[in-house]
Amino acid sequence: MNQQTFMRQLEAALAGLPAAERQDILADYAEYFRDALADGRSEEEVAASLGDPQRLAREFQAKAKLQAWESRRSVGNLFGVIGAMAGLGVLNFVLAIPFMIYLGFLTLGFVVSCSLLFGGVLLTGLWASNSLFGWPAIEPVLFHHGSGVAWVASTSDSARPLVNIQGGQGDRVVIHRDAATGATRIEASGADGAVRLERSADGSISRLQLTGDDGVVELQGLEGLPDLPDRSVLLVTGLALLLAGGVGLAIAVVLVRATWRGLARFGRYQLSLLSGERKEAVRV
């Protein structure tokens, strides 16, 4: 291959680069040929020492993509660098697949962390709004459950059960809450017997009664854990989501920065090796 053929193929392979950069590269290679010819080497010998023009063009394109990614580290530029490295053969299939899987998990970690943060902000905002303005309030909700019907009502009417589940075989679960005292009564009955549990406002179980075919068993004065108020549940859950999302996002950011630095160093190292080999071949 003579100089004219080499330069023509190189120019065609560099078509994806900006015109100014393309002209600079062509000028450098023209100078390589002039210096080598001045030393008494033939055009064919110089072209053979420089290597395949297509591969040289892929090397320059990889360098351009690496520079673009370093100036703007976007996902698109990142995949451009990976594709360019794979085209040069420095990132083989065995290494590329685990790396792509790693990037997939990293992206998933970002999405999950951001979702947890959003959920935490939403719940914390609901708690703040309810505490300051009384909105949103707990409203009655009617829903179907299996073969029966259950409803959850506001606590303003202490005579109406909070939950009433009526089964198709005579089974029934009723939960009452006294708005004045905060005490709760749970009654569950069926064909095999009944259970009645009474709990005070402080969370202690004041009475537990089990009724069956063999008689009645009753326990009193049992200790229990108090329930958190509904608004406190919102706050605790919201803060937990904020904490989990913040920690997850921080870890993801650290991993992304480490990945970016490692990939940039790997790309520059491989390109420097290729460039050093080419210059050594020209001097020989």
Which position has the higher pLDDT, 82 or 234? 234
Q: Are the C-beta atoms of 96 and 67 separated by less than 8 Å? A: no
Task: Say whether both 215 and 256 belong to one domain.
Answer: no
Domain extent for 261: 3-111+251-283
Percent of the chain with pLDDT over 70: 74
Task: Say whether both 104 and 150 belong to one domain.
Answer: no
Provide the pLDDT for residue 225: 46
242 in a structural domain: no
Q: How many domains does the chain have?
A: 2
Average pLDDT over residues 8-30: 90
Sequence-separated (6 or more) residues with CB below 8 Å from residue 93? 86
Provide the pLDDT for residue 255: 92
118 in a structural domain: no
How many whole angstroms separate alpha carbon 280 and alpha carbon 267?
20
**Sign, CA torsion 109/111/113/116:** negative
pLDDT tens for 37-91 read 888 888 898 888 888 898 888 888 888 887 787 788 776 777 777 777 766 665 5
The mean predicted confidence, pLDDT, of the chain is: 77
73 in a structural domain: yes
How many whole angstroms separate alpha carbon 186 and alpha carbon 10?
84
Task: Say whether both 213 and 256 belong to one domain.
Answer: no
Question: For the ranges 5-9, 84-88, 96-100, 267-271, which has the lowest average pLDDT?
Answer: 84-88
Residue type, position 61, single letter: Q
Task: Say whether both 145 and 87 belong to one domain.
Answer: no
pLDDT tens for 110-136 read 999 999 999 999 989 988 888 888 777
- Expressed in angstroms, the distance from the first to the final Cα of the chain is 18
Q: What is the three-state SS of 82-118?
A: HHHHHHHCCCCHHHHHHHHHHHHHHHHHHHHHHHHHH
